[in-house]
Amino acid sequence: MEYKLRKAEPKDVSDILRLVKELAKYEAMEHQVALTEKELLEDGFGDTPLYHCILAEVQGEQSGEDPKVIGFAMYYFTYDPWSGKQLHLEDFFVMEEYRGHGIGSEILKQLSDLAMKTRCHGMQFIVAEDNEPSISFYKRRGAEDLSTAEGWRLFRFTENSLYKMAASTEE
């Protein structure tokens, strides 16, 4: 199957949001997507991008048709106080009908290339424990489950808790 990978541009925010929602649906959490195209535009293509995207595109089925965005990876750089810069892979998704053609592998290869070029010490990402196809995909390529190996758990303070703490005047 012919496809190409490219950096996302401002015109792609509508496709990015569509794929973010498809991935959330795959994780059975579609209702949690509150982000808008406007926010994606400001946050990804302003002076200080908060995220970056690689897109996978195929040719339109009929001649004259626009190319179609059928996969994406959203990433940003984080910092590990033990080893330094890391690439954090936030979202990674290929539409179902386009899987099995090596697109996911190629995206991961590009991300690995980028991580090496930007002097990152590793790539980190979060996977749902019941997402066996993805866990296998990553483990086949050398990923380790640090939650199992080292006992790390992800915690969150939501906006409400943040407001309460910011406003507090005592312990």
Q: Which residues are catalytic?
A: 138
Q: How far is the CB of 14 from another protein (least distance, A)?
A: 14
- In angstroms, the CA 41 to CA 16 distance is 10
User: Which of 71, 76, 80 has its CA nearest to residue 103?
Assistant: 71
- Residue 55 binds another protein, judged by CB under 8 A: no
Nearer to another protein, 99 or 122 (CB): 122
Nearer to another protein, 81 or 133 (CB): 81
Nearer to another protein, 7 or 164 (CB): 164
- Residue 115 binds another protein, judged by CB under 8 A: yes
Contact 13, 6 (CB under 8 A): no
| Binders of another protein in range 21-50 (CB under 8 A) | 23-24, 29, 32-35, 39, 43, 50
Q: Count CB neighbours of 52 within 10 A.
A: 17
Alpha-carbon torsion 156, 159, 161, 166, what sign? positive
- Residue 153 binds another protein, judged by CB under 8 A: yes
